[in-house]
Structure 1
Amino acid sequence: MASDLRETRVGGQELFKGDFLHAMRDRVRLPDGQLTQREYIVHPGAVMIVPWLQGPDGSLQLVLERQYRYPVQQTIVEFPAGKLDPGEAPLVCAQRELREETGYTAREWARAGLLHPVVSYSTEFIEVWFARGLQAGERRLDEGEFLEVFTASPEQLYAWCRDGEITDAKTLIGALWLQNVASGSWSLNWQPADPAA
């Protein structure tokens, strides 16, 4: 039988509250009864989309983005993604973010799973969604948001992951899901898009 590894909050304080992130320091009781501190970031959660596009020759192409990420001072290749608005359903967020960032809408959607990218210091979770049957449209980037949209083959994506050119955790997980779905090892439950989305 597994032992109880839970830590229990006994107090805490807010360290910082910004427009996006919220930093906390909690006092917690460990499984052995000792007390310690845990500092962490409260995050509203996010979605990531793995968009499938049919190439002119019928081959599968993926819609990706290049975006400068200030904390790491690098331009990062990643799948489209964005944070949840208060009370927003993850699929609605995925549809909104795909449209805003890339201009594409999708006829079909499938939820792949959930990931926690930084469990040691953040509450952040990211729902992974696949989108297919893409139709091009106009992008509506947020003010101050700059990114380049491009397409690549799955083979290019896997090579960039292997060679360390892609280091974004959520995109690496997206590539893992894609590889397993493409091989037939994992399946997706596709659903039509909500016509109102």
Structure 2
Amino acid sequence: MASSNKSKVLKVEPLDYKDAKWATLVKITYTDPEGTQRDWEASERLTRPKGSDIDGVGVVAILQNSSKPNEPLRILLQKQWRPPVNATVIEVPAGLIDPQETPEVCAVRELKEETGYIGEVVGDDFGVSPVMFNDPGFCNTNLRMVHVTVDLSLEENQNPQPSLEDNEFIETFSVPLKDLWAECKKFEKEGYAIDARVGTLAEGVEFARRWKLN
């Protein structure tokens, strides 16, 4: 349950831009279509590597067992408490990209570090998404979603052990992919926050089911 996480916000105070390590606030001056000059307040990340078009990746990891092809597919999720929303959030594995790193390499690395699972990026043009902006009305943070399969029949995936940093407290679990929408509704009732990437994935699965897109 969300209430089992003992993390809590102690205080919130202004942050001087000179002390910011991860993000900063900026004022953007621009002209609208009619030529009127306007201002816009926004946030910018400070961590995007030089030459990279993204800040990081989100990993959609589908668990399957090649020795049991009829088993229902499951999606790998995480529970992680996030200070900005003061809640435990249902998320997909994700992380910032390293300099000179491709989205595919970043996704496999983050998946292994955060969950212990070793995955393989989908081999066609569905493997990596277009660049996506999380909240373009507020910040320039962006990412690519990387779609990965994890074969549970492989020896390296029998007893996955994450390699978490000392400030990471992540609980990994999975749910049936076809039930993702219902699971999100259930988690919300239990007090969890739903990451937009998970919620959007759930909507997509439900759209496909309701309108028989396949």
State the one-letter code of the partner of 2:128.
Answer: R
Alpha-carbon contact 1:51-1:131 (below 8 Å) kept = yes
Between structures 1 and 2, the one with greater helix share: 2
**Can you give the 5+ residue segments of structure 2 that lack an aligned partner in the other structure?**
1-15, 49-54
Find the aligned partners of 1:61 and 1:179 in 2 and give their Cα distance: 15
Find the aligned partners of 1:160 and 1:181 in 2 and give their Cα distance: 16
Give % identity.
27
Q: 1:179 to 1:130 in 2, by over 3 A?
A: farther
Tell me which of 59, 63, 85 is aligned to 1:49: 59
Alpha-carbon contact 1:23-1:42 (below 8 Å) kept = yes
- 1:16 aligns to what? 17
State the one-letter code of the partner of 1:48.
Answer: G
Alpha-carbon contact 2:108-2:120 (below 8 Å) kept = no
- 2:196 aligns to what? 169
Tell me which of 84, 87, 94 is aligned to 1:71: 84
Tell me which of 124, 130, 142 is aligned to 2:141: 124
Find the aligned partners of 1:164 and 1:114 in 2 and give their Cα distance: 28
Quote the RMSD (CA, aligned, Å): 2.7
Alpha-carbon contact 1:113-1:129 (below 8 Å) kept = no
- 1:31 aligns to what? 33
Find the aligned partners of 1:184 and 1:79 in 2 and give their Cα distance: 25
1:179 CA displacement: 5.5
Find the aligned partners of 2:205 and 2:61 in 1 and give their Cα distance: 10
TM-score, L = length of structure 2 = 0.69
- 1:190 aligns to what? none
Tell me which of 157, 168, 180 is aligned to 1:157: 180
**Can you give the 5+ residue segments of structure 1 that lack an aligned partner in the other structure?**
1-14, 187-197
Find the aligned partners of 1:170 and 1:47 in 2 and give their Cα distance: 11
- 2:111 aligns to what? 98
1:176 CA displacement: 4.0
1:178 CA displacement: 5.0
Alpha-carbon contact 1:67-1:147 (below 8 Å) kept = yes
Between structures 1 and 2, the one with greater strand share: 1
Find the aligned partners of 1:86 and 1:175 in 2 and give their Cα distance: 31
Over residues 124-176 of structure 1, what are the superposed CA-to-partner deviations in whole Å (9 max), with x where a residue is unaligned? Answer: 11211111134523311123011100111124321033457262111122334
Q: 1:121 to 1:87 in 2, by over 3 A?
A: farther
Q: 1:112 to 1:174 in 2, by over 3 A?
A: farther
- 2:7 aligns to what? none
Find the aligned partners of 1:29 and 1:108 in 2 and give their Cα distance: 42
Alpha-carbon contact 2:108-2:121 (below 8 Å) kept = no
TM-score, L = length of structure 1 = 0.74
1:180 CA displacement: 6.8
1:185 CA displacement: 4.3
- 2:51 aligns to what? none
Q: 1:91 to 1:114 in 2, by over 3 A?
A: same
